[in-house]
Structure 1
């Protein structure tokens, strides 16, 4: 399966329903206690693209996008409007948003990630599809600048500094990002009359590991 570096129309994903999905295996013991385990270290997100359609023109755009991806064959970018920034949805990303690493004086390449905190627990989500032109980076509390100090691999979510950050320096970053997804169906079934009556088709998409 190839990845097409193109985003599903953001205006149509705006009304989509979806979010993260975890997989938990639960075994109930004879004592009544449970043993719980997850084979996934990271969630997968699922969405229904059909919920964002408001007109036949929207439907036509989705069908064209679906055909260009050959159904489930090729993955693509998806804007998750509920979670697409390194910061709160109401503000713009800043270079101080996320601590992504600590310099060791040798490494120059660092992967983007987003921390989700609740109490003492922190989950770090890999960010592999940042949006071009939105990445800001800092070293040791000072902002550094793209091209002058570093480059960004927008296909893999990596920052490559021209010079290795010094030992102990916090590497920080702020960014917007997309989710790598594919269609979770090879078939779109829709009736024009039912669509005009308000019955939208179900067009599921699912996150892929990238």
Structure 2
């Protein structure tokens, strides 16, 4: 599947609406009790960026971006302003933010990830599109300035030398969401002042 390594305009994405979506099957029994099963192991994010359009120039930028991606054909990066870094929104990312693995003496690659926890439960999200220049790494809490690299297209952290067995690896980073347009048509409205609007511009997360 084609993916363009470009980011949707930040000035427009800042006003977007959306967030994570889960899919759950619920069967109501004769007793009134329910049986619930998760159809998806992982959540999928959906957004509508029409709310971020405030000027005619914004409209033109969206149309150009849509045409360059061939509608739904090609994926791209999107900054989710509500969830775009490894730490809390009020904090700056640091190398101890998120656990990404434990060394075994032979593995050299580890996937960036973000853990979402509440009470005793947690869910770990693989991060595949970190922002270039934002990734930091620590081994047993000690920041590492060299000896590793991070791919901005897979989220894999590769070490020149495999971390020793039992060494805890952590990382901090900013990241984008890989998405595509969820429509092949833009319904544009022009008023008498030649100012434009679009009713809805849906985006959906992809596995890329």
| TM-score using structure 2 length | 0.96
Structure 2 residue matching 1:57: 3-state secondary structure: helix
Q: Does 1:51 align with 2:51?
A: yes
- Give 5+ residue unaligned stretches, structure 2: none
Distance 2:154 2:59 in 1: 31
Distance 1:17 1:155 in 2: 25
Distance 1:53 1:116 in 2: 31
* 1:196 Cα deviation after fit: 6.3
Deviations 1:76-112 (A, max 9, x none): 0000000000001122110000011111111010000
Q: Aligned Cα RMSD in Å?
A: 1.5
Query: Which residue, 185, 201, 204 being the options, matches 1:203?
Result: 201
Cα distance change on mapping 1:59 and 1:195 into 2, 3 Å: farther
* 1:194 Cα deviation after fit: 7.7
| TM-score using structure 1 length | 0.95
| Structure 2 counterpart of 1:8 | 8
On the 8 A contact 1:105/1:164 being kept in 2, the answer is yes
- Give 5+ residue unaligned stretches, structure 1: none
Aligned residues: 208
Structure 1 residue matching 2:180: 3-state secondary structure: strand
Structure 2 residue matching 1:5: 3-state secondary structure: strand
The runs of 4+ residues in structure 1 deviating greater than 3 Å are: 194-200
Q: Does 1:77 align with 2:102?
A: no
Distance 1:65 1:52 in 2: 14
* 1:32 Cα deviation after fit: 1.6
On the 8 A contact 1:96/1:173 being kept in 2, the answer is yes
Q: Does 1:112 align with 2:133?
A: no
Q: Does 1:17 align with 2:27?
A: no
Equivalent residues in 2 for 1:48-197, closer than 5 Å: 48-145=48-145, 148-193=146-191
On the 8 A contact 1:194/1:200 being kept in 2, the answer is no
Structure 2 residue matching 1:191: 3-state secondary structure: strand
Distance 1:89 1:170 in 2: 24
